[in-house]
Structure 1
């Protein structure tokens, strides 16, 4: 693939991944290639924060079409802190009962210490993924029924 094809692919105004950079480039009159490179660099440096900010920008700026998708993504984002309730009591009370905030702040150290002293930290990660999926399903279902009822009222 030539560099010209790669550059034209990355600088096209249409959406590549959820359309966040394309919409931002139109609203800010910046080249979409610069925004995409910026998001890639931001993702390499701060992976979880970049993914969350990208999804928040998608919900805030781009996605105004489907309530089901918006609420499913919102549920996925809320699933990370709510995964605290999917964890065992040992993980919830790791260094005293600090609640959800201390759980989120000390999650990397919890994973490391759990892996070193108890066993595989994939138990905690799988509970986080489970919470994200459950919250996404709940949000998507609520959005689907809200969309269905709003279409019924319009007719």
Structure 2
């Protein structure tokens, strides 16, 4: 691929993947090229944060289903890495306490090792589901509140 093809690929005004960059470019009046490169850099440096940020922007900017649905779906997605705070100390200190990022990236390995050592890997999975439900409900309440206040304001 030559440099011209790469430049035209990143500077397209239409959507490439879910339309986040083109929608954000239109709303913020920023070149699409800069937004796509910024999202790419954030995703490569902070893998789970970049992906979650992209999905959050998709739910809040591109979907036209209202803020209740967008915020609840975003809460469900964010509930997975945030379930770290609902886990027992043994999981938090796994391999020297790698934190939320290490936990998020190694969930299958953690489940397998915890099941071998303790014998109840499903409790970890239950904590993840509980966190997704809690943060999904919080997101739904926030979205509902924002939609409700938006409809009260005179245009």
Please report the TM-score for the alignment, with normalisation by the length of structure 2: 0.61
Give the number of equivalent residue pairs: 106
Q: How big is the shift at 1:119?
A: 1.1
Q: Deviations over 1:45-104 (max 9, x none)?
A: xxxx9xx89x93962675223100000000001000000001001111011111101111
The equivalent of 2:120 in structure 1 is 120
| 2:117 is equivalent to residue 139 of structure 1 | no
Structure 2 vs 1, CA of residues 147 and 60 (structure 1 numbering), >3 Å: closer, same or farther?
closer
Q: How big is the shift at 1:139?
A: 0.5
The equivalent of 1:59 in structure 2 is 59
Name the Cα RMSD after superposition: 2.5
The equivalent of 2:33 in structure 1 is none
| 2:73 is equivalent to residue 73 of structure 1 | yes
Q: Deviations over 1:110-133 (max 9, x none)?
A: 111111110121100000000000
Q: Secondary structure at the match of 1:119?
A: coil
Q: How big is the shift at 1:105?
A: 1.7
The equivalent of 1:110 in structure 2 is 110
Please report the TM-score for the alignment, with normalisation by the length of structure 1: 0.61
Runs of 5+ consecutive residues of structure 1 not aligned to the other structure: 1-22, 25-48
Q: How big is the shift at 1:154?
A: 2.9
